Structure 1
Amino acid sequence: MSRDWIRFPLNLMVHPFEGYWDLKYDRNQKFTLIISFCVLFLVAVTNILGSQYSGFLVHVYNPETMNSLMEIAYVIVPVLFWCVANWSLTTLMDGEGKFVEIFTSTCFALLPLVIIQFPWIWLSNLVSLQETAFYYFSNSVAVLWFVYLLFVGNMTVHQFSPSKTIGIMMLTLVAMGFMAFISLLFFSLVQQIVAFISVIYQELVMRN
């Protein structure tokens, strides 16, 4: 069982159809959920370390603007938005995937971003300007691999055809944009209400 913690995620990366089928029908849900959280944590750590320690040729780091909590949010919020939007749409379109299955399949798809990008955090400090092309090529491979795994995961979890899966993924991105707009609108409204209450409070205090 201890070897499965490493072997199963790596096997899914190489054999996604078999891996996602196993993830949906054969694997213990608690086991896959724990690994999913571990992968999400590793992606967040990779994002933080990449912002701090990547070579200056590929990433200009400003310590004054660095916020670890925001770097974590840049990972967790899009994943949650994707899962909620995808679950909402597929529920209306006869998708077979549960929210937990969507979350686990999404997190497993993120694994190439850790496997490929983490070593390049340190290698980017050793490369010359001409060799940065390898850095950008590797990052492109990681992103394309992630998109491919996300596609296979969605298709397997919901039991959709390839064309329907592509359509659902496009609609999910649109829904994520709508969710982001509503969230920004909500936080802006809350901020204005807080500022209004603060101004009223200050006036009452000054009058007394």
Structure 2
Amino acid sequence: MNKELITFPLQLIVHPFNGFWDLKYEQTQKKNLMISYLILFFLVITNILSTQYSGILVNLYNPKDMNSLLEVVYIVVPVLFWCVANWSLTTLMDGEGKFVEIFTSTCFALLPLVIINFPWIWLSNIISLQEATFYYFSNALSILWFLFLLFVGNMTVHQFTPAKTIGIMLLTVVAMGFMAFIGMLFFSLVQQIVSFISVIYQELVMRS
């Protein structure tokens, strides 16, 4: 494996301002996408393993009820929703970021969620109730680090001011909620149509 596939993401999360600048202007798009897919893949694996193997003191889920496909959806869909919503808004507000740049910067920002949380999958099985505080602290740290990287990445990709970046990020979250609402309405409508067709078909079969 190319050494840069490992070293560059680690350098970026430690030096985000220079890292995201290099991500946008210096790195090749093909390499950025490759690393982004890997980070997204490892986050999905971390999420699945965490649900399945985390210690009983910190695991809020019943491993027997885990659905691996849903765990993938819980990661991939919000990332795609964020990228689509952010791209749609920033296109209207003179943002310089392309969709692929928004996607790659978002995936790179997710890296702390993998680096910090993955070791805790195993450590959570040997900690005491008092030591669980360190687990929750680390979890909160990974989220704050992710949000900071997401902010810097968004600001760099679109060349926005800090204030405008915060505003766009908040609007993006609102747009994601709207997209989720529309999606739920769509699937509900499809379900009703399928149910209606099924009833009509059963009626025709019974009368024939």
Structure 2-normalised TM-score?
0.98
Residue 9 (structure 1) aligns with: 9
> Aligned ranges for residues 22-171 of structure 1 at < 5 Å?
22-171=22-171
Aligned residues: 208
Amino acid at match of 1:98: K
- Residue-by-residue CA offset, 1:19-49 (whole Å, 9 max, x unaligned): 0000000101100110000000010111111
Instruction: Give unpaired runs (5+ residues) of structure 1.
Output: none
SS in 2 for 1:196: helix
Are residues 1:188 and 2:188 paired? Answer: yes
Amino acid at match of 1:183: G
- Residue-by-residue CA offset, 1:50-96 (whole Å, 9 max, x unaligned): 11001111014424421000000000000000000000000000000
Given that 2:51 and 2:63 are in contact with CA atoms closer than 8 Å, whether structure 1 keeps it comes out as: no
Q: Distance in 2 between matches of 1:51 and 1:64?
A: 10
Given that 2:97 and 2:157 are in contact with CA atoms closer than 8 Å, whether structure 1 keeps it comes out as: yes
Structure 1-normalised TM-score?
0.98
Q: Distance in 2 between matches of 1:136 and 1:179?
A: 31
Q: Which stretch has the larger CA shift, 86-95 or 60-69?
A: 60-69
Q: Distance in 2 between matches of 1:61 and 1:171?
A: 31
- Residue-by-residue CA offset, 1:165-189 (whole Å, 9 max, x unaligned): 0000000000000000000000000
Q: Distance in 2 between matches of 1:60 and 1:83?
A: 29
Given that 2:105 and 2:150 are in contact with CA atoms closer than 8 Å, whether structure 1 keeps it comes out as: yes
SS in 2 for 1:57: coil
Instruction: Give unpaired runs (5+ residues) of structure 2.
Output: none
Amino acid at match of 1:18: N
Deviation beyond 6 Å, 4+ runs, structure 1: none
CA-based RMSD: 0.9
After superposition, the Cα gap between the structure-2 partners of 1:139 and 1:63, relative to the gap in structure 1 and judged at 3 Å, is closer
